[in-house]
Amino acid sequence: MAQMGRPRSFDRDQAIEQALHLFWEHGYDATSLSQLKAGLGGGISAPSFYAAFGSKDALFQECVQRYLATFAQVTECLWDESLLPRQAIETALRQSARMQCEDSHPKGCMVAMGVMSAPSPENAHVTAALTRSRLRTRAGIVACVERGIATGQLPVNAHALATVFDSFLQGISILARDSADHDVIDAAISHLMLTWDLSAATAPPTHRGTAAESPRTPEPAAARNDHGDTTR
């Protein structure tokens, strides 16, 4: 009697990457089990799928964690206090725009699009990690603006200005999905950063920060005498 052939094996790590791209492109609800099985390759059956990943939900969570540990790191510079606050925000925006427009993966940001990834109420818990990531990025932007205010660079309401940058960051996903040219988005970021500069221009002259400051933590301010000489 001929032995039954074993199911074709598949590379689990590669399967996670393929599933990540499917969820990134279509969202959780719209990605069906049949799409996942076809996308993973290797002729994987439903029982083999569940044996390997547990469930569609569990697979999605693995994909989310991989995304957060890789692609989503483009905004972690918001928490780098060796960067000037303006520089940290601009770096996050430019790095995110570049990543979202790359051709090697689906366009846009999985974290930003996650708000629409599982619209049904019963699946709201599925995207909790993506929601936390958005909140962390938002908090990072606020922290940068608050640092600007604390150092006298900005005289504005932190949450109001932070919302300007956060709104643009979220909007990049829609632009990228609509195949907006990266160079155009990058140029728009230059215009957007003028918002910071205009706000800084209204700060009191004695406290206003400058773009030429070192990205390192500044030394304590020195007093100056009537001749402009520095005294300690």
Segment 101-124, tens digit of pLDDT:
999 999 999 999 887 776 677 777
Residue 198 has pLDDT above 80, yes or no: yes
The tens digit of pLDDT for each residue in 138-171 reads: 999 999 999 999 998 898 889 999 999 999 999 9
Tally of domains in the chain: 2
**Are 40 and 114 within one domain?**
no
Categorize the per-residue pLDDT at 46 as very low, low, confident or very high, splitting at 50, 70 and 90. Answer: confident
Tokens 């930003």 -> residue: 112
| φ, ψ dihedrals at 45, nearest 5° | -90, 170
| CATH value at residue 156 | 1.10.357
Instruction: Please report whether residue 228 resides in a domain.
Output: no
Cα 11 to Cα 18, 41, 56, 146, 186, distances in angstroms: 10, 9, 18, 46, 37
pLDDT of residue 134: 95
Q: Across residues 14-30, what is the average pLDDT?
A: 93
Residue 6 lies in a domain: no
Q: Write down the pTM of the prediction.
A: 0.81
pLDDT at position 196 is: 95
Beta-carbon contacts of residue 68 (< 8 Å; ≥ 6 apart): 111, 129, 133
Answer whether residue 78 is part of any domain: yes
Q: Which domain holds residue 185?
A: 73-203
| Element spanning 224, H or E | strand 223-224
